[in-house]
A and B are shown apart, each in its own frame.
Chain A
Amino acid sequence: MASPTTSELLELTAAGALRRIDEGELPADEVFDAYAEVAAAEELNAYLWRAEPGTRPTPPSADESEQLRGLPVAVKDLFCTEGIKTTAGSRILEGYRPPYTATAVRRLSQAGARVLGKTNMDEFAMGSSNENSAYGPVLNPWDRARVPGGSSGGSAAAVAGRLAPWAIGTDTGGSIRQPASLCGIVGLKPTYGAISRYGMVAFASSLDQCGPLTRDVTDAALLLRAMEGRDPLDSTSVGIDGGVELPSREDLGGLRVGVARDFSHHAEGVEPGVAETFERSLATIEQLGGSIEEIELPHAEHGISAYYVLAPAEASANLARYDGVRYGLRVDGVADLVAMYERTRARGFGLEVKRRIMLGTYALSSGYYEAYYGSAQKVRTLIARDFERAFERCDLVVTPTSPSVAFELGARTADPLAMYLSDYFTVPMSLAGIPAISIPAGLAEPPGGGTPLPVGLQLAAPAFAESRLLDAAHALELAIDFQERPA
Chain B
Amino acid sequence: MTADVRFDEVIHAPQRLRIVAMLASVAGLEFAAVRDALDVSDSVLSKHLKVLEDAGYVKVQKTKRSGRTWTSASLTWAGRSAYEGHVAALRAIVDGAAEAMPSASGPSGVG
A and B part of one assembly: no
Interface set of B (CB-CB < 8 Å, partner A): none
Interface set of A (CB-CB < 8 Å, partner B): none
